[in-house]
């Protein structure tokens, strides 16, 4: 397995230099939304993309499957490996990681993008939704990271990137959707803990949009809650 690394001290490379060429990215929830957008960006560099997501059959309202995403990734210049993965299911995560290593020779970057969301107050949030958010956002991130780490440690330039917010304890971030914020901060705490635990071996960081991102899934969630 070979992954290009951009030396920061060298003169700038031509714009055609592809930083992620040859790298393998394992992206959860990559069949649509931000996860797919990251996958397509990496695909333009010639990266290998493992699409670890649940949707194998067309959803009645949400567009895209792991197979349509794979087609788009390969059209953009990357190599795709679609894997049916519910991050709540440990064996599915293990199987997908093993398949990724067998297919591409290893894993260089893990993107923990898969998330469940319910922007509802405490009294309006059903227990099953609380369970879903905790299991997908916190446990799923932890489990996928744990499963990928032995392979990431063999990479020349390993990274874990969680789609999670900065740890701001201002009550305004909790009052309208307490359970959701707790679950996303759990992902951020994985960043804090693993970054220190694997310092010098694996870079662990978080990425969070500066503003809200409108998508069909959030729209549907709001419709269900109204």
List residues with catalytic annotation.
180
Q: Edge-to-edge strands of the sheet including 24-28?
A: 79-84, 48-53, 24-28, 109-112, 159-163, 203-207
Closest CA to 137 of 100, 189, 174, 99: 189
Helix axes 66-75, 33-43, angle to 10 degrees: 30
- Tokens found for residue 207: 């990425």
Positive or negative CA dihedral for 58, 28, 111, 94? negative
Please report where in the chains the tokens 């991102």 appear, as a residue: 213
């Amino acid at each position: 397995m070979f992954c290009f690394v951009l030396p920061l001290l060298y003169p700038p490379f031509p714009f055609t230099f592809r930083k992620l060429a040859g790298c393998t990215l394992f992206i959860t929830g990559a069949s649509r939304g931000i996860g797919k957008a990251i996958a397509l960006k990496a695909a333009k560099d010639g990266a290998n993309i493992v699409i670890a997501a649940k949707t194998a059959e067309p959803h009645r309202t949400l567009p895209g499957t792991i197979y349509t995403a794979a087609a788009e990734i390969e059209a953009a210049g990357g190599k795709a490996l679609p894997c049916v993965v519910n991050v709540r299911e440990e064996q599915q995560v293990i199987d997908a990681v093993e398949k990724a290593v067998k297919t591409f020779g290893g894993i260089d970057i893990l993107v923990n993008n898969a998330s469940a969301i319910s922007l509802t107050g405490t009294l309006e949030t059903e227990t099953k939704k609380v369970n879903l958010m905790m299991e997908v956002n916190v446990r799923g991130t932890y489990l996928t990271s744990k499963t990928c780490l032995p392979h990431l440690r063999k990479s020349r330039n390993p990274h874990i990137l969680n789609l999670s917010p900065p740890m701001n304890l201002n009550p305004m971030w909790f009052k309208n959707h307490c359970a959701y914020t707790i679950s996303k901060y759990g992902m951020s705490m994985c960043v804090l803990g693993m970054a220190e635990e694997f310092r010098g071996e694996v870079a662990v960081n978080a990425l969070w949009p500066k503003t809200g991102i409108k998508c069909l899934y959030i729209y549907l969630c709001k419709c269900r809650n109204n």
